[in-house]
Amino acid sequence: MVVEARTVMYPPKDKTAPADLTTGHGTGPVRSRRPVYRDQLPPCNHACPAGENIQAWLAEAQAGRYEAAWRILVRDNPLPAVHGRVCYHPCETACNRAVVDSAVSIHAVERFLGDRAIAEGWRLPRDAPASGKLVLVVGAGPSGLSCAWQLRRRGHAVEIRDAGPLAGGMLHFGIPAYRLPRDVLQAEIQRLEAAGVRIVLNHKVDDVLAEMRDGGFDAAFIAIGAHISRRADIPARDCARVLDAVSFLRGVGMNEAPQIGRRVAIYGGGNTAMDAARTARRLGAEEALIIYRRDREHMPAHAFEADEALAEGIKIHWLRSIRDIAPDSLQVEQMELDAEGRARPTGRVESLSADTLILALGQDIDSALLQHLPGVCIKADGTVQVDANMMTGYPGVFAGGDMVPSERTVTVAVGHGKHAARCIDAWLKGGSYAHAPQREPVGAERLHVWYLAETARTYEHLLDPQRRMHGFAEIVSGIQEPEARFEAGRCFSCGNCFECDGCYAACPEAAIRKLGPGRRYEIDYARCTGCAACYEQCPCHAIEMEAERSAAAAASRETS
């Protein structure tokens, strides 16, 4: 019997595939390539600064296994109810579904799981026996809490010491209650304490080495938040009322709100400026005016923050810079942008009425506790230089969160805490942490979603502006169980097999064998002709076509 090679041309699913995978299809004894099941990196997981396995917990939530989903989630992030509210969800920006209809509302499902865990009283697991090691964490903000939890998971005893009267750091003192209710924050912190994380408040650490020596600590993680407001070199006349945004928001968070008058101006264009302006309105200011030296396109605040502020009656004066501060007015100069987007003065000046000026020009770090530590390099803004393992120049002292140069967000801080804990754990064991090999993210161009039905994204309900301005009640309501399950079901499972049976049905040689629920499939290469029918229909790109020789060698290595 003569077997003739046949070549069938299919439009390639992946335009970036190697040329030999798109020119023809091997068959039988002359098969030149074979399909291989291989898990890839979902773009949402890749974009998450906390390193959450988003796709995995969405799959559990889709199946209605909410506690299982939450347990996957908290292995990477112990504060899901917080993050579902305050994270700016870069995972959704990366979501492949956005090119089809709209991104999966990942943060809404995360919040649902976090809130359900609080309501049900789910407790954090302990994964390892006691190690006998004790670690000091300085700072009870998101990075410190994350690091403490990850260390506790690994069996180490942990004590957090914080100068403030309440745990949470900038979560408590920087984010207004209308965005993050304090009972939600405290519930997640108390769950950490119940898991064995010890938190000591009203304890300022001035000398890290002395604290470590006196407390018998084996290592330390420094995670002090950026609590020092930057000042502006602006002439201010006697009696002019000038506050900094961090102190202002902290006072409000401590129920010690200052008197601000009827007209309040806020100088700055970041998220803190938006928070300060919206808080001023809730405290009774009839007018809250943001002054920013560049235009909206160049403002650092997230667009939705500005939109919500404008909806609440906040006024924003773009391209303005303050020149002089009087007791009841401001001298403001109009600015213009050059070709590089830098603001430059025009000489045109106007006067604005204001009873109080709140400066929201950014924050710096108080790193005095590390200044006398040998080998530690502190930069001009107070941040600390660390190596790839987040260790400072002094052995056993690590740093993260706002303490190191990086984007200052809650989720980045949590990711730093997790990574630092891995590195501390390895250092305590006499080694160093090595990242697992990075898998390749799967872009939308690699998907072949033959089963797709367009579905509208689930949106959380935002209170009407007139209602939300009166008090600090939460302004966004979470989604309910049917919505959470539906939204989780919109996930494409990019790069990872979800057992849709498409390959099983597409194979003309019956070379695909089903192994049972949760066990996926295997390929009978004695039957497989390399036709790529399975590869070309796989909706999530969980199958790769590899050259026969390299695929066989890889299989041999795996079985040896």
Under the banding of pLDDT at 50, 70 and 90, the label for residue 19 is very low
Q: Return the structure tokens found at 146.
A: 């994350």
Are 412 and 454 in the same domain?
Answer: no
Residue 354 lies in a domain: yes
Domain holding 272, by residue range, is: 234-363
Q: pLDDT digit string (tens) for 328-379?
A: 889 999 999 988 888 999 999 999 999 999 999 988 888 888 888 899 998 8
> What Rg value do the Cα atoms of the chain yield, rounded?
28
Place of tokens 């090119």: 99
Residue 225 has pLDDT above 50, yes or no: yes
Q: What is the pLDDT of residue 134?
A: 98
Residue 5 lies in a domain: no
Are 241 and 351 in the same domain?
Answer: yes
Under the banding of pLDDT at 50, 70 and 90, the label for residue 22 is very low
Q: What is the CATH number of the domain that holds 161?
A: 3.50.50.60
CB 178 within 8 A of CB 474: yes
Residue 515 has pLDDT above 90, yes or no: yes
Q: What is the CATH number of the domain that holds 534?
A: 3.30.70.20
Are 316 and 341 in the same domain?
Answer: yes
Are 355 and 256 in the same domain?
Answer: yes
Q: Which range among 379-383, 438-442, 493-497, 519-523 shows the weakest confidence by mean pLDDT?
A: 379-383
Are 414 and 463 in the same domain?
Answer: no
Residue 2 lies in a domain: no
Question: Alpha carbon of 412 to those of 89, 160, 238, 407: distances in Å?
Answer: 11, 19, 41, 7
Please state the domain count of the chain.
4
CA 149 to chain centre: 17
Number of Cβ atoms within 10 Å of the Cβ of 406: 15
Average pLDDT value for residue range 480-496: 95
Average pLDDT value for residue range 39-63: 96
Residue 266 lies in a domain: yes
Residue 132 has pLDDT above 60, yes or no: yes
Q: What is the pLDDT of residue 450?
A: 76
Are 502 and 522 in the same domain?
Answer: yes
Q: What is the dihedral of CA 529, 533, 538, 542, to 10 degrees?
A: 20
Task: Report the distance separating Cα 150 and Cα 148, nearest Å.
Answer: 6
Average pLDDT value for residue range 494-501: 94
Residue 8 lies in a domain: no
Q: What is the CATH number of the domain that holds 84?
A: 1.10.1060.10
Are 448 and 342 in the same domain?
Answer: no
Average pLDDT value for residue range 138-156: 97
Are 53 and 109 in the same domain?
Answer: yes
Are 207 and 249 in the same domain?
Answer: no
Residue 161 has pLDDT above 80, yes or no: yes
Average pLDDT value for residue range 143-153: 97
Domain boundary among 363, 385, 419: 363
Residue 108 lies in a domain: yes
Are 275 and 359 in the same domain?
Answer: yes
Are 36 and 50 in the same domain?
Answer: no
Could you say which DSSP state residue 122 is in?
A: -
Are 276 and 322 in the same domain?
Answer: yes
Average pLDDT value for residue range 197-204: 97
Q: Return the structure tokens found at 89.
A: 């969800």
Q: pLDDT digit string (tens) for 452-470?
A: 667 889 999 999 988 888 8
Residue 414's nearest CA partner among 71, 145, 151 is 145
Q: pLDDT digit string (tens) for 283-299?
A: 999 999 999 999 999 99
Q: Return the structure tokens found at 110.
A: 């995360």
Residue 3 lies in a domain: no
Q: Which range among 154-158, 166-170, 466-470, 491-495 shows the weakest confidence by mean pLDDT?
A: 466-470
Instruction: Provide CB contacts within 8 A for 201, sequence distance 6+.
Output: 140, 162, 164, 165, 166, 167
Average pLDDT value for residue range 174-186: 96
Could you say which DSSP state residue 441 is in?
A: B
Residue 435 lies in a domain: no
Under the banding of pLDDT at 50, 70 and 90, the label for residue 238 is low
CB 208 within 8 A of CB 222: yes
Residue 38 has pLDDT above 70, yes or no: yes
Q: pLDDT digit string (tens) for 239-273?
A: 668 999 999 999 998 889 999 999 999 999 999 99
